[in-house]
Amino acid sequence: MKILIARLNHETNTFSPVPTPIAAFSPAYGEEAYHANKGMRTAMAAFIDLAEGLGATLVTPVSAMANPSGPVHAAAYDELTRRIVEAAPGCDAILLDLHGAMVAENSADGEGDLLARVRAAAPGVPLGVALDLHGNITEQMVQNADVMVGFKTYPHIDMYETGEHAGRLLLQMLRGEASYRVCWHPLPLMSHTLRSTTLEGAMRDAVDAARQLEHGGLPAVTVFAGFSLADIEAPCMSVVATCREEDLDATQAAVDDLAQQIWQRRADYVYRSEALADSLRRAANLAQGATRPVLLLDHGDNCMSGGTCDTMDVLQAALAQGLTGIAVGPICDPETVATLIKAGVGAEVEVALGNKVPLAQLGLHKEPLQLRGRVHAASDGGYTVTGPIYTGQRCHMGRSVCLDIGSAQIVVTEQPHEPWDLGVFHCVGVDPTRFRYLLLKSRMYCRPVFVPLSAGLVECDSPGVTTSDYARFPFTHVHRPVYPLDSL
C-alpha cells in the first residue's frame, strides 16, 4: 500500500506587499519533508502516524509553509504543486495538508486548481484534505475531494486532530468500509477574523452546532470562517460536510440549516473598531493599579494575516499619550537591526524605526519613527515554542535586538514574526511580565500564552493591510452583493 502525504500551506492577503517566493516556504522534499512533520502538531504529522500504523509505504514529495503574505509567486506555486501532482500516479490514497485560502499570481483558486490536477493525475484514488478554519472554499475544491475536514479552533490548536480526523475517514474508504462525498453551502458573508475566534460568540456557537451534527452521526462537519483579505470572487464563510454517499441529501439539508443559522447572525461576524486613541485610553485605565501587563494587540499589522510587521501607528500613539513601561515586539526592520548591531550592546543610538514597507494598495506611505535609545541586548533571534500552538517548534526571527528608549523596550527583528511565545522577548533578555503594557502585533495566536499573564486585553486597530476596516481595501474581484460590504 502506497500513500501520498504532502503539506502546502499559505493564507494569501492579496493586499499585502510582502512577497511570497519559494524561499518563503522553506520547502522540504522527500525524506526531509517526512522529518519536518514527524512528531510535530501538524495535520501532516497525523497523516504520517496513521499511514505508518497501517504499515504503508509513504510518499512525501513536499512539506512547505509560508507565513501569510501577498500572492504566491507563479514559479513557487508551479514548483510546489508540480511535486505533489507528479507523485500522485501509482498511489493508493492521497492525504493533503493544505490551508484553503491560497492565491497565486497564476491561480486565484490555489487549492482548487491543485486538487483538480491531482484528481486528473490519479483518477479514482481516494483523496482527503485537512484545511485551516479560514479556508475560502470553492466548488472546485469540493468536487475534487472525497474527504474534507477543517480546524475547529481559532487560535488554532487542533491541527493534528484535524489531520487525524480526515485521515481516519479516508483510510475507511481505502479499506472499502465507506464511500464518502463532500457537500457544502457557501454564504455571501465576509467575516472579520476577530469575529472568527472559537472562544466566544457566534463562531463558537456555529462550531458547537457542527460538533453536534458529528455527534449525531455525520462523519465530519466544518464551519469555515473564510479569509476576507483576498480580492477573489468569494472570500467568504461556508459550511462543509463529509458524508456517506447514501446520506448525501439528508446531509445537505443539515448543512443548509446550519448555514441559515449563521446567516441569521451575520451581524455578529462583523468587527467594529473603536478609534485608536479611545483604545489606548481604555488600556491606561486598565493599567491603573494592575500588577500584570495590559496587552495592546495591534491587529491592523498582524504578520499572520499578511501584515508587514513594521507599522508604527500604535506605538507612536501610545508614546504621544504618555504611556510608559511598554514592551514592544517584534518590529521587523532589518535596516535598523544592522545599525543597532553595528553600534553594539550598550551604545546610545538614534534610529528611524519601521514604516519602511509602502502599503501601496491601500494608498498609504508613512514616515519612519525617529527614536533615541540604548542597545539593550542582541541575539540570533532563535527560540523554542513552549505554548500550545506549534509546541516544541524552533522559531527564528533573524538577528534580533532590544532597543531601550526609556518609555519602552522594543524588540526589532530581521524577519516578520508572530509573537507565539514568551521566547520573542526572552531571546533578547526581556521579561515581558515586568512591564505595564505589552504591545504585540497579533490577533489571536499570542492569546493562549500572553492572556493568562495579563491584566487585560485591548484590541488596537491601525491602518495596515490587516486592518478590520474593510473600507480601506479596494475590492474589485469580489462577487457582489456580499455582506457587510453591501446591506443584505
Cβ-Cβ contacts under 8 Å for 149 (sequence gap 6 or more)? 128, 129, 130, 131, 162, 165, 166, 169, 220, 222, 242
Q: Are residues 202 and 335 in the same domain?
A: no
The pLDDT value recorded for residue 108 is 98
- Entry pTM: 0.93
The pLDDT value recorded for residue 318 is 97
In a domain, 60, yes or no: yes
The pLDDT value recorded for residue 418 is 92
Mean pLDDT of the chain: 96
Q: How far apart are CA 446 and CA 74, in angstroms?
A: 32
Whether the pLDDT of residue 219 is over 90: the answer is: yes
In a domain, 41, yes or no: yes
| Cell, residue 454 | 495579563
pLDDT tens column, 178-214: 999 999 999 999 999 999 999 999 999 999 999 999 9
Domain count, the chain: 2
The mean-pLDDT minimum among 125-134, 164-173, 371-380, 386-395 falls in 386-395
In a domain, 15, yes or no: yes
Q: Are residues 168 and 312 in the same domain?
A: no
Q: Are residues 432 and 329 in the same domain?
A: yes
Whether the pLDDT of residue 78 is over 80: the answer is: yes
25: amino acid identity, one letter: F
In a domain, 30, yes or no: yes
Range of the domain at 318: 276-467
Q: Are residues 79 and 184 in the same domain?
A: yes
Three-state secondary-structure class, residue 34: helix
CA distances in angstroms from 68 to 23, 227, 307, listed in the order given: 13, 11, 8
Q: Are residues 412 and 371 in the same domain?
A: yes
What CATH number did the domain enclosing 202 receive?
3.40.50.2300
**Residue among 7, 107, 10, 16 at smallest CA distance from 66:** 10
Q: How far apart are CA 302 and CA 304, in angstroms?
A: 5
Please classify residue 372 by burial: count the beta carbons closer than 10 Å to its beta carbon, then call 0-12 exposed, 13-18 middle and 19+ buried: exposed
Q: Are residues 8 and 51 in the same domain?
A: yes
Q: Are residues 293 and 194 in the same domain?
A: no
Q: Are residues 100 and 40 in the same domain?
A: yes
**Residue among 213, 234, 215 at smallest CA distance from 223:** 213
Q: What is the H or E stretch that residue 351 is in?
A: strand 348-353
In a domain, 475, yes or no: no
Whether the pLDDT of residue 389 is over 80: the answer is: no
pLDDT tens column, 130-152: 999 999 999 999 999 999 999 99
Please report where in the chains the cell 499573564 appears, as a residue: 453
The pLDDT value recorded for residue 385 is 87
Segment 266-289 mean pLDDT: 95
Cβ-Cβ contacts under 8 Å for 123 (sequence gap 6 or more)? none
Q: Are residues 246 and 293 in the same domain?
A: no
**Residue among 98, 146, 148 at smallest CA distance from 122:** 146
Give 405-441 as a DSSP string.
-SSEEEEEESS-----STHHHHTTT--GGGSSEEEE-
CB 83 within 8 A of CB 56: no
Three-state secondary-structure class, residue 254: helix
In a domain, 473, yes or no: no
